[in-house]
Structures are given as structure tokens and as C-alpha cells.
């Protein structure tokens, strides 16, 4: 996994994929793998753990909302009262109680 400005390279079993951070809606951990969900409704499974993506993508406007979720702030539609982030593609990412105050602070500062 490499980063050049906003260009990201991810290796999968099918080969190397190149895309920009803006194309990512959210990432979700699945054991030792990560599902990447894109704006074109496609998803990709990669063998990198979510922590590796968090280190790389948080400076580009992503926020960790839960131990299993990393979301792109640009694609957040709203935050519900029950503690979930609703994305523009209508997918849902949980906000953990432990991370809620930091997530809300980061989202307020982004506005």
C-alpha cells in the first residue's frame, strides 16, 4: 500500500489498484482484512488491517468512528442521535461510545 499525494495503491489477490482518497466512502474491518467501499457502489477486499489505512488516510480527511469503521468526512450525510454515521450512499457506520466525543469534535471542526 503506497500513497502519492491523494493517489493510493492497494495490492489485492487480483493485482494492484490505483485510486484517489476522494473515491472512498468508508472502510470496514473484517478480521485481518479490510473492505473498502467506493463512491461507485463497488467494494474491494484487501489483506491490510484497518489500522494501516487509518494511519495513511486520517491526514486526508478520514475519521475513525469505531474499531471497525473509518469514514471519509466528505461523504457523511449526517450523524444520528443513536450514535451512527449515515453516509451519502446510505450506508451506516457505528460510532463507539469511547470515540464519540473525539469524532464529534473532529466533525464540528470540519464544518
CATH of the domain at 31: 2.40.50.1020
Q: pTM of the predicted model, to two decimals?
A: 0.89
The number of domains in the chain is 1
Higher pLDDT, 68 or 7: 68
In angstroms, the CA 68 to CA 53 distance is 12
Q: Provide the pLDDT for residue 111.
A: 55
User: Please, which pLDDT band fits residue 5 given cuts at 50, 70 and 90?
Assistant: low
Long-range contacts (CB closer than 8 Å, 24 or more residues apart) made by 12-16: 12/44, 12/45, 12/46, 12/47
End-to-end CA distance of the chain: 30
pLDDT in tens, 8-63: 888 888 888 999 999 999 999 999 999 999 999 999 999 999 999 999 999 999 99
Please check the confidence at residue 86 and state whether its pLDDT lies above 90: yes
Q: What is the DSSP letter of 23?
A: G
Task: For residue 100, give its domain range.
Answer: 2-110
For residue 39, the tally of other CB atoms under 10 A from its CB is 16
pLDDT of 6 strictly over 80: no
- Does 4 have pLDDT greater than 60? no
Strands (E) located in 1-111: 2-4, 7-12, 15-20, 24-30, 33-38, 43-46, 62-66, 69-72, 76-79, 84-87, 92-94
Across-strand partners of 27?
Answer: 36, 70
Amino acid at each position: 500500500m503506497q500513497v502519492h499525494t491523494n493517489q493510493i495503491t492497494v495490492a489485492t489477490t487480483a493485482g494492484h489498484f490505483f485510486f484517489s482518497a476522494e473515491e472512498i466512502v468508508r472502510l470496514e474491518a473484517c478480521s485481518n482484512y479490510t473492505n473498502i467501499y467506493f463512491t461507485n457502489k463497488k467494494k474491494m477486499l484487501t489483506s491490510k488491517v484497518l489500522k494501516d489505512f487509518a494511519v495513511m488516510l486520517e491526514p486526508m480527511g478520514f475519521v475513525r468512528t469505531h474499531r471497525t469503521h473509518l469514514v471519509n468526512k466528505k461523504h457523511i450525510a449526517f450523524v444520528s442521535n443513536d450514535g451512527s454515521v449515515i453516509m451519502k450512499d446510505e450506508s451506516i457506520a457505528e460510532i463507539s461510545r469511547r470515540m464519540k466525543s473525539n469524532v464529534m469534535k473532529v466533525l464540528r471542526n470540519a464544518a
